[in-house]
Amino acid sequence: MNGILFRMELRRNARSLIMWTLIISALIFFTMSFFRTVLLYQQQIAGMIQIVPAVAVKMRGFSNINDIFSIMGFYTANNLIYMMLLGSIYAIMLSSNILLKEEYGKTAEYLMSRPITRNDIFYTKLFVAFLNVFILNVIATLVGFISIHIFKNTECDFYPFFVISLYTLFLNLLFGSLGVLISVLMKRARPVTSFCIALVMVLYFLHTISRMSGVDGTFGYISPYKWVDVSVSQPGYGLEGWRTAAFLGTIALLIAGAGFIYRKKDILT
């Protein structure tokens, strides 16, 4: 870790972090504010849902129809889109650019001619990317927590909330690691933003399709979205060992692979 580079990178990425955090937090808060309205029109909505195919409900992120009328189910479905989808897009965009932008921005020669090792550059930049993702998650979780407190209709158990928040962080960090790996594999110095966003979307829809079709075999597990347990209303819901191990193990592998390649690669100029 290099302190000078760390401060520089933190400054360079601050504007983007603030923007994403504000947008996602606002979306979470405003969407949660509709929960009371949903409850107000519960009967009508329930009636409408009867004629909506079950797959459409699942596609929207609800495990079952009744989740719409529980604050935790309502939050989880929205969290899936705002934090698991948008947060992952932020994480992969940030991490895929944090090393590569020095190369396509033609600043790499200035950075790498300083007395600093490749390891220092790699881990400092990765740390900044992960720190930004962590800050986004903490603030978004805090906004979610406050929103639930404000808009809940009954007392609720917050344990599932913290579990789903942790899964969301794991998912975002996994996409962050994937972005770094993609960036070091590039043979040309150009941004990979479009490819990375497309990758997140494809994996998200792969998971959605697997849920809708009810195919819960190995097919669905290609997507890391499948590794997140969103059934917050199920009794005994909690952090599962295999899911945590899958996330942390994959993150570690992706980082180790990316670091190994970065130490050996020619800088693109």
Partner 1 sequence: MNLLEINHLCKFYGGSLGIDDLNLSVAAGDIFGFIGPNGAGKSTTIRILLNLIFPTSGSARIFGLDVVRDSKKIRSRTGYVPSDASIYDRMKVMDFLKYVTSFYRVDNIQERIDRLLEVFDLDPGRKIAELSMGNKKKVSIIQAMIHRPELLILDEPTSGLDPLIQSRFFDLLHEENRQGTTIFFSSHTLSEVQSFCKTVAIIKEGKIVAVEEIATLRKKQLKKIQIHFPESRNIRDLGIQGIGQAESDRGRKLVFMFSGSINDLIGKLASQQIENLSIEEPSLEEIFLHYYK
| Residues near partner 1, by CB under 8 A | 4, 8, 12, 105-110, 112-117, 264, 266-267, 269
Long-range contacts of residues 14-19, Cβ cutoff 8 Å, at least 24 apart = 16/94, 16/132, 17/132, 17/135, 17/136
CA distance 40 to 37: 5
Q: How far is CA 89 from CA 176, 194, 261, in A?
A: 9, 10, 23
Q: How far is the CB of 258 from partner 1 (least distance, A)?
A: 17
Alpha helices for the chain (secondary structure H): 3-32, 35-40, 42-51, 54-59, 71-79, 87-104, 108-112, 118-151, 159-185, 193-213, 241-264
Under 8 Å between Cβ of 88 and 169 = no
Q: How far apart are CA 254 and CA 185, in angstroms?
A: 12
> 12 or 36: whose CB is closer to partner 1?
12
Distance in Å, CB of 177 to partner 1, minimum? 24
Which CB, 44 or 188, lies closer to partner 1?
188
**Cβ closest to partner 1, residue 120 vs residue 229:** 120
CB of 15 to partner 1, least distance (A): 10
Q: How far is the CB of 115 from partner 1 (least distance, A)?
A: 4
CB closer to partner 1 out of 66 and 107: 107
Q: Which is nearer to partner 1, 3 or 235 (CB)?
A: 3
Whether the CA torsion 82, 198, 59, 251 is positive or negative: it is negative
Please report how close the Cβ of residue 121 comes to partner 1 at its closest, in angstroms.
11
Which residue type is seen at 66? N
Q: Which is nearer to partner 1, 110 or 242 (CB)?
A: 110
Give min distance, CB of 102 to partner 1, in A.
10
